[in-house]
Structure 1
Amino acid sequence: MRSSPSAWADHRLTGRALAGTLAQAMAAEPNSGDHFDAQVWLLDMQSRLARRQPAAYPDRQARLSLLQRIHAEARRAALPPELVLALIDVESRFRPTARSPVGARGLMQVMPFWKDEIGRPRDDLTDVATNLRYGCTILAHYLSRENGDWTRALARYNGSLGRTTYPEQVMAAWYQRWWVTR
């Protein structure tokens, strides 16, 4: 399918806006929000992660460290941390050095072209903190662009807008493994 000139112009404008948002996010400090809420969440999620990926994170402290970073970055981007866990589960199975056939890297499978777009070509997308900052910022941008429509935002994140397979996988992981009732 060929893109129309207006669709291409829309993509370029979106890319520029997202690149600006990413550049700001990379300079910002993480914010973990409410300390008590974060601690309760960490305890719950670390046991879930231990059951889901015992070989990848056999050490409790390593799980807690990863989850603290995920919680902080998700909250900074105003995303549910459990959704970010579900996306990571589907994208990389929690492997920080994961690499897709098309070159996406890290936990959240971020495409390397974003580094050049924001003028940070030396960023290491296999670094957990860097990858989470990029991934959460990109997902939050797409969620805003899609007016809160998770299906469309997740499809944009995956590069599969118009198809629902990927969003359904992430949502299923969210509801089956990471959902928290509040």
Structure 2
Amino acid sequence: MATRDYVKRGRGPKKATNSRRKNPPRSSFPVKWAIIAVMLVGALGYGLYFLASEPAPAQPKPVKQEVVKPKPKPVSKPKPQPKPKATLPPKPEEKWRYIEELENKEVKVETKKEQKPSRPYLMQCGAYRSMAQAEERKAMIAFQGLTSQIKISQGEKGSWHRVILGPYPQKRKAESDRNRLRRAGIEPCAIWFWE
């Protein structure tokens, strides 16, 4: 089979173009809107010119009437009486009840008594077939400042080396140590009742 040179073979025949007539490109300047704007500005200018050239309506001249002023009688000025000083009553002293109520008030908060579990908790951080793996996990836990034990349990499929921590009197303390180990990358650890 001969190899084909796709680069030098050239381009294929031109595809037939659409025979529809293309719309002429729109002009960039909107002539129609420019004509409308010029007409509006011209109409506004003509209106202002018409208002300015029209003379103002003539205002009727007021008829002067002679007003006879009576001669003023000499009036003696009365002595101004001194204004009485506005005396305000003394400011009442405000007595707030809530201040006394808050000083003498005691808030009683009911706290739930922590229930003591019937038995202590343990935390298991791995179960391994070989003692070497269990010792390695125990050493990693010891680097975190916690002490652990290795318990060997016999099952149907052989013996398991379980790495456990505890006993813990409260589950909260066990969870605290589990979080500490989790931050160090030692997981999974499960918390159960001590057997």
TM-score interval, normalised by the smaller of the two chains: under 0.3
Structure 1 or 2: more strand by fraction: 2
Work out which structure has the larger RCO, using CA pairs closer than 8 Å and 6 or more positions apart in sequence: 1
TM-score, structure 1 normalization: 0.22
TM-score, structure 2 normalization: 0.21
Instruction: Find the structure with the greater CA-based Rg.
Output: 2
